[in-house]
Amino acid sequence: MLKSARNLIIAPSLLAANFSRLDREIQRANRSGAEWIHLDIMDGHFVPNLSFGPEMAKTLRPMTFLFMDVHLMCECPEILIDPFHAAGAESITVHAELGFRVKDLLWQIKSRNVKTGLAVNPPTSMEVARPYLKQIDLLLIMTVNPGFGGQKFIPEMLPKIQTAAKWRQEKGLKFRIEVDGGINPNTGSQCTQAGADTLVAGSSLFSKPNLRAAVSHLRKASTH
Ligand code: DX5
Ligand code: ZN
């Protein structure tokens, strides 16, 4: 459980930003007190939606000092790792549902000196992620079915967070436990109580006129 606000990372998801005013939205994120910016990359195959690609990351990179956390919801991440690395991504997350390709994908990310992330969708068992725990810096537990922002948090995912925290402690590992989807001060608090230390939040943050106050509210509610 989090004992200090300093252990908690908040990652606003750009997907919920106003795309017609992106420069302003990035400035809001820069001044928000959040540590990371989360980029949701959707390919129209792995998830039924499209978002943006490495060019967006490259454009944003000089505009922000925030740690760039790239979440690839993509059928073929093999072709995206180098472009996102070149664009300045600091962590790249691929999905555990990609099966036998996961091991090589994590290796490919790590060999670029980028933090490695592994994501688990709601219907996927945590057992699928278990063989890779020593290889990763970040375990992303999806708390909605990926594809769209603004969905309702699935509370049945809380035991998965507890399992991840238990495994991490038992094995003496240091990977972060990130949650993504439907996170607000109420659900964020439930997730950190279960063992999460990294909160992705899109609509609950960017919809607020005062992003800094929204980040601070989420942080206070989620620190126990
Ligand atoms: C879901 C994405 C999320 C999403 C979160 O497909 O991976 O990162 O942007 O958005 P909210 O916080 O609105 O659920
Ligand atoms: Zn995401």
**Position 24 in a domain:** yes
What residues make up the domain containing 70? 9-222
- Taking a C-beta distance cutoff of 8 angstroms, is the pair 22, 52 a contact? no
DSSP 167-220: HHHHHT---EEEEESS--HHHHHHHHHHT--EEEESHHHHTSS-HHHHHHHHHH
**Position 104 in a domain:** yes
- Taking a C-beta distance cutoff of 8 angstroms, is the pair 69, 11 a contact? yes
Residue 68 has pLDDT above 60, yes or no: yes
pLDDT of residue 2: 52
Pocket test for ligand 1, best of 46, 140, 151 (most atoms within 8 A of CB): 151
DSSP 123-143: TS-GGGTGGGGGG-SEEEEES
Rounded to whole angstroms, the Cα distance separating 173 from 3 reads: 18
- Taking a C-beta distance cutoff of 8 angstroms, is the pair 71, 38 a contact? yes
> What is the pLDDT averaged over residues 29-55?
98
**Position 72 in a domain:** yes
Q: Considering only 2-16, 72-86, 93-107, 148-162, which range has the smallest mean pLDDT? A: 2-16
**Position 2 in a domain:** no
Q: Given the CA of residue 145, which atom of ligand 1 is nearest to it?
A: 6
pLDDT of residue 126: 98
- Cα–ligand 1 centroid distance for 182 (angstroms): 7
> What is the pLDDT averaged over residues 79-93?
98
Q: What 8-state DSSP symbol labels residue 147?
A: T
> Is residue 180 flagged as an active site residue?
yes
Residue 1 has pLDDT above 60, yes or no: no
Rounded to whole angstroms, the Cα distance separating 204 from 53 reads: 23
Write out residues with Cβ below 6 Å of ligand 1. Answer: 13, 15-16, 38, 40, 71, 144, 146-151, 180-183, 200-204
**Position 1 in a domain:** no
- Taking a C-beta distance cutoff of 8 angstroms, is the pair 183, 205 a contact? no
- Which residue out of 23, 43, 104, 180 is catalytically annotated? 180
pLDDT of residue 203: 98
Contacts of 79 (CB under 8 A, 6+ apart): none
Total domains in the chain come to 1
Q: Given the CA of residue 148, which atom of ligand 1 is nearest to it?
A: 6
Residue 75 has pLDDT above 90, yes or no: yes
Confidence of residue 171 (pLDDT cuts 50, 70, 90): very high
Q: Given the CA of residue 181, which atom of ligand 1 is nearest to it?
A: 14
β-pairing, 198-201 with 176-180?
Answer: parallel
pLDDT tens per residue across span 180-204 = 999 999 999 999 999 999 999 999 9
pLDDT of residue 98: 98
**Position 4 in a domain:** no
- Taking a C-beta distance cutoff of 8 angstroms, is the pair 31, 53 a contact? no
- Cα–ligand 2 centroid distance for 53 (angstroms): 14
Q: What is the CATH number of the domain that holds 102?
A: 3.20.20.70
pLDDT of residue 4: 54
- Cα–ligand 1 centroid distance for 224 (angstroms): 24
